Structures are given as structure tokens and as C-alpha cells.
Amino acid sequence: MTTLEVKDLHVSVANPEGGDDIAILKGVNLTVNSGETHAVMGPNGSGKSTLSYAIAGHPKYTVTSGSITLDGEDVLEMSVDERARAGLFLAMQYPIEVPGVSMSNFLRTAATSVRGEAPKLRHWVKEVKGAMSDLGIDPSFGERSVNEGFSGGEKKRHEILQLGLLKPKIAILDETDSGLDVDALRVVSEGVNRYAQAENAGVLLITHYTRILRYIQPQFVHVFLGGRIIKSGGPELADELEANGYEQFTQAASAGA
């Protein structure tokens, strides 16, 4: 059993106009265990992506108080690469391009770092081809630079390809549905479900739409507003959001600001 635990997390960013830092997260509490899928839902600007980047260790975000632990180990004391080796994975909303680094080299280097040794080439080639086939990725993409010239859907498929090959303990998916058409959404979601089932992994799915929840079904849904979780429930909470939107929760968020 793996447990990611976030306790009373406060996070700020530098003020671009100078002066005091801007508080983004204002006391987030969340626990994700192996085999669980949690959906964090909220409108743009609520701080959902900040939560994902803070867990992953993005240097732009400063944790001012609170804690993040993975199986009792202090995540905040780990570097970004140490967090990845410990079993954390972030699929970014906007995957970056890395010119000059081929997908095949990138994937094998990442797998070597996470696994502690280079995968045997023959087995690795078979593993990658199978994973690409499952996601409908043309094998020729392996020789292209990471995400360079890829469409939004192609970038998201390659994020899920990494997920399936690296096999993390906890996957954080930051608006993975953003920019996907119906077919790509289905393929990407199937990839997430395959990974979660095979690894008995914990999944933290960040989104503001319910459409991806038709394919990736969470056991837990959290409403995120004003930099914190203001309500948690089961899948029925997502249905409530679909029907009535976030406005019903804004008063509660403002009251605790």
C-alpha cells in the first residue's frame, strides 16, 4: 500500500509586480492511496494546477507551511528527480518540447533512472512497441524530438506512454483532457485505466470538466475553490457539478478565505 498525504498545504508564488508573494494554496488536505482514483475539480484559477506542481517540486512554487509525504517520507525534502524515483509522476497540462532529444532516448533514460538500471534492449524495444500500439502512436515518433511539432493530442498520448512505461506509484494528471478530441480522450483514458489496474496505482486527476470522468471513474471527487478543497464526496458529486456548476460552492469558498 502506497499513500500520498498532503496536510494543511500552503503555497505561494512570487508577485510579478513586486511586494509580498501571492498565496495560491490555503490549507489543502488530501490523501491518495494505492488503487484509488481521486478527481479534483474546480474552475480555472482555483489553484488545482498549483497543487500538482507543488507535489512534483516545481521551483516556481514555494511551500510556506504544511507537508507532503509519500509512505511517510518527506516529499518536500526531495529534489524533483528524487520524487520521480520515489514513485511520483506528473502528466502536465502543457507538455514541453525538448528539441534534439529523441523520444526513444528520453524514454529509456527515464526508465533507467526510475528502475535503477538500464532495461535490457530486446525487452525494452518490445515493451515500448506494445505500449505505443495500445495508444495508437506511430513507431516513427520514437525518433522524433520530444513533443517537438506534436499536436496537443499527440503530446497527451506521449505523457500517458511515459506513465505506462515508468509505472509510478502515484500519478498526478493535470487536465489531461485539455485539448483532446473524443477519440483521443478515449484512447488516453484507456491508457490511464490500464496503468492504474496493472500497478494498483493511486491516481489524482485534476480537471474542470466531467467528460473525462465518463472514461476514468473516480471513487472520490473533491471540489477545489479558493486554493483549497471545500467539499469531498463520491462520484455523485461530479454529477452535481455537471448539473449545477461551481457557483453553489463559491460562497463557502469566500467565507473561508
Average pLDDT value for residue range 213-237: 94
pLDDT of the residue at 178: 84
pLDDT at 129 over 80: yes
Q: Which residues, other chains included, contact 32 with Cβ-Cβ below 8 Å and sequence gap of 6+?
A: 3, 4, 5, 38, 170, 202, 203, 204
State the cell numbers at 146. Answer: 520530444
pLDDT of the residue at 252: 58
Q: For the chain, give the mean pLDDT.
A: 91
pLDDT of the residue at 152: 84
Average pLDDT value for residue range 93-116: 90
Percentage of the chain beyond pLDDT 70 is 97
- Backbone φ and ψ for 79, nearest 5 degrees, come out as -75, 170
Instruction: Check: pTM over 0.85? Answer yes or no.
Output: yes
pLDDT at 256 over 70: no
Average pLDDT value for residue range 167-193: 92
pLDDT at 239 over 60: yes
**67-100 pLDDT, tens per residue?**
999 999 999 999 999 999 999 999 988 888 899 9
Q: Which residues, other chains included, contact 10 with Cβ-Cβ below 8 Å and sequence gap of 6+?
A: 23, 25, 26, 27, 63, 64, 65, 66
Where are the strands (E) in 187-234, listed by range?
202-207, 220-225, 228-233
Q: For the packed helices 152-166 and 103-115, what is the interaxial angle rounded to 10 degrees?
A: 30
